[in-house]
């Protein structure tokens, strides 16, 4: 069973440890070790920012990653999102797929937004392709946008419109049911 739960103050150090894992940091914009002091400031902003929401990804009762929406713009009815799976034990088991579905449903069905955006480092082709399978369209390419690990990297800008999701949703839900990630009643 996969679920999302709100972050709480007790998650602070766990999240800092996750952010400092090489396999997580590789796909983040920053690439330095995050100090407790730097993380404390980030975490307090995360808890208080009304334009963002953070959840812990829980798989079979174990905290395995983080997902968030940010830059929530109610006037223009859009936001951005990002996630990572910190636990190597659950990678490749459909957790990312379920998380993506859950965020899309939350953004369009609960928040009633029109557009969900994301940015992905260009070399992370697996995640770019995963987003495209959900109906995201590439809207831009920021060439040599992030300097990391001693070199510049492109950033792929993707977005999903509510109308595109309504077309894609039945196909995605069927695939999730076949994989056992959604019940027939969902």
DSSP 92-143: TTTHHHHHHHHHHHIIIIIS--SEEEEEEETT-HHHHHHHHHTT-EEEEEEE
pTM of the model: 0.93
Q: What is the pLDDT of residues 139-158, one digit of tens each?
A: 999 999 999 989 999 999 99
CATH code assigned to 2-178: 3.40.630.30
Task: Please report, rounded to a whole number, the percentage of residues in the chain having pLDDT higher than 70.
Answer: 98
Residue 184 tokens read as 């027939």
Q: What is the pLDDT of residues 82-137, one digit of tens each?
A: 999 999 888 878 899 999 999 999 999 999 999 999 999 999 999 999 999 999 99
Q: Which of 65, 62, 57 has the alpha carbon at shortest distance from 23? A: 65
Domain ranges of the chain: 2-178
């Amino acid at each position: 069973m996969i679920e999302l739960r709100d972050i709480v103050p007790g998650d602070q150090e766990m999240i800092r440890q996750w952010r400092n894992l090489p396999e997580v940091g590789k796909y983040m914009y920053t690439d330095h070790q995050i100090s407790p002091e730097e993380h404390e400031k980030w975490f307090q902003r995360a808890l208080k920012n009304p334009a963002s929401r953070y959840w812990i990804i829980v798989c079979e009762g174990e905290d395995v990653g983080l997902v968030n929406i940010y830059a929530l713009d109610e006037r223009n009815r859009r936001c951005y999102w990002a996630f990572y799976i910190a636990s190597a034990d659950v990678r490749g088991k459909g957790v990312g797929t379920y998380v993506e579905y859950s965020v899309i449903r939350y953004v369009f069905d609960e928040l009633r937004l029109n557009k969900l955006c994301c940015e992905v480092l260009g070399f992370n082709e697996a995640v770019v392709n995963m987003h495209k399978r959900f109906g995201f369209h590439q809207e831009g390419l920021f060439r040599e946008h992030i300097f990391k690990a001693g070199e510049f990297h492109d950033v792929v800008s993707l977005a999903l419109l509510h109308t595109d999701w309504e077309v894609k949703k039945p196909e995605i839900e069927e695939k999730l049911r076949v994989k056992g990630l959604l019940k027939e009643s969902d």
